[in-house]
Amino acid sequence: MDFRGINTVKKRLADGTEKIYYYARKGGPRLRGEPGTVEFENSYFESNRIIEVKKTPVILLDLLNKYQRLPEFKNLKPNTRESYLLQVRRIETKFGSMPVTGKLAAARKAFKRYRAELAEKHPQQADLWWSLLRRVFSVALNEGWIREQPNPCKGGGKFATGSRAQLIWSDAEISTFLSLAPPQFHLALLLALHTGQRQGDLLALRWAAYDDTCLQLVQQKSVSKARQNTEVRLRITVAKALKPALDAARSAAEAADPILLRGPILVNSRGKPWTAYGFRAAWRAAVKRAGIANLRFHDLRGTAVVRLARAGCTVPEICAVTGHSLSHARSILEKHYLGFDSQVGAAAIAKLNRAQRTLKVVPKEAVPIGRARWALVTARDLERMVWSGPLTDLGKEFGISDVAISKRARAVGIPLPGRGFWRKVATGALPHPAGVPADSKTLANRRPTKAA
């Protein structure tokens, strides 16, 4: 048999004898056994097979295919996986044949250049494209699919920035949509507006979950096999503005075919259940028909949060309706939805104005100073003062000691804050009394009432 490319090297051993070593080629692997043996032939063919494999470069398409076979990708929610597949197709089209066996520093420049082009029209899509590519390379490096080196998509920042405050449905836009959009979308908008739920949860909502007063549902996004999240079960009281629309839709479904009451609440114009893709496409067309720009169905979830906050709801109350966690709801309200909301600010000033109308504001220039002012203080004014701040601060204002103030208060039967009361108020353990005596647990011992 003709073994081509074999390189022979003679070596003189320590005992003076010569030995011949055989290599598949110059710089290649050493061959086992002696020429003519089965071991030598197998070693030769194995070394050449390795050489052929090494000649075939690993391309980016190989990494994408391997990543899509991982449980991490297969366990994604259908909507998330669909959006990822769109980015996978973009990567395959533009960089699928790119070799990834060498250094990837030059590839980073090409990736960033394409990402910037994509961000000109679709900044959020560009960020998702970049994050997916970064994840693929991260897995490839951790699994040993490519040689160890820095991730070419590490860092990079984001193109999609800005507050969601500009993406809130106004009352005028809601009215316009209800007047111009097809009827099958009216109930969808009202449900999202008064429950704050996601599109997928509302499309899955069935008539069996409605009992005339409440809607019961389990949020789909909270249930994940991969992350093992705890499911969020909600029981949402139906708002007065939503109930007539729900009752009318149920009556229409029952009149058409009672079996429809076993199905979903939201249906298309043919009375059939919506698919996620079909609803998105039809909703975009309805929004465009109504002349509303830059608003999505998911923005109704944020609008619901804002409307509840403007109505004076606390964060726990908002979470009980929308299903957000407390920390997530606070983050949303602070960072995105309410940031510098003018209506919330106006409500705060209105509350301040109402509170100030109950206070008797006396200009300091209109009354004598020091001990002369102290002589003019009435029993009612004294009670308000001792329950507005520490006695030491009050004493400094009138130029007398806190002991003198407490003696006069006890003489007229005014209860005093207990020891440590103002420290607890400062730490938030107790609410500020605002000039009104607190409950008996916080009071000092009273003395018998004397004439003032």
Please give the pLDDT value at position 35. 81
Strand partners, 59: 99
Nearest of 104, 95, 91, 99 to residue 148 by alpha carbon: 104
Which segment, 283-287, 303-307, 418-422, 432-436, is predicted with the most confidence on average? 283-287
Query: The domain that contains 280 carries what CATH number?
Result: 1.10.443.10
Residue 448 covered by a domain: no
The answer on 112 and 16 residing in a single domain is no
Residue 265 covered by a domain: yes
Q: End of a domain among 108, 143, 178?
A: 143
Over range 14-31, report the average pLDDT. 82
Residue 363 covered by a domain: no
Window from 49-58, 165-174, 245-254 with minimum mean pLDDT:
49-58
Residue 385 covered by a domain: yes
pTM of the model: 0.55
Cβ-contact 89, 134 below 8 angstroms: no
371-420 pLDDT, tens digit per residue, is 667 777 888 888 888 888 888 888 888 888 888 888 888 888 888 888 88
Strand partners, 216: 235
Please give the pLDDT value at position 278. 92
Window from 69-78, 91-100, 365-374 with minimum mean pLDDT:
365-374
Number of domains making up the chain: 4
Distance between CA atoms of residues 24 and 37, nearest Å: 15
Please give the pLDDT value at position 266. 95
The answer on 251 and 221 residing in a single domain is yes
Tokens representing 293 are 């720009």
The answer on 69 and 45 residing in a single domain is no
Residue 444 covered by a domain: no
Query: Domain span at residue 250?
Result: 165-357
Distance between CA atoms of residues 149 and 135, nearest Å: 14
Distance between CA atoms of residues 395 and 408, nearest Å: 12
Tokens representing 231 are 């499911």
Please give the pLDDT value at position 337. 62
Q: What angle do CA 48, 52, 55 make, to 5 degrees?
A: 135
Residue 333 covered by a domain: yes
155-190 pLDDT, tens digit per residue, is 888 887 765 656 789 899 999 999 999 999 999 999
Distance between CA atoms of residues 422 and 390, nearest Å: 7
The answer on 255 and 200 residing in a single domain is yes
Residue 445 pLDDT exceeds 50: no
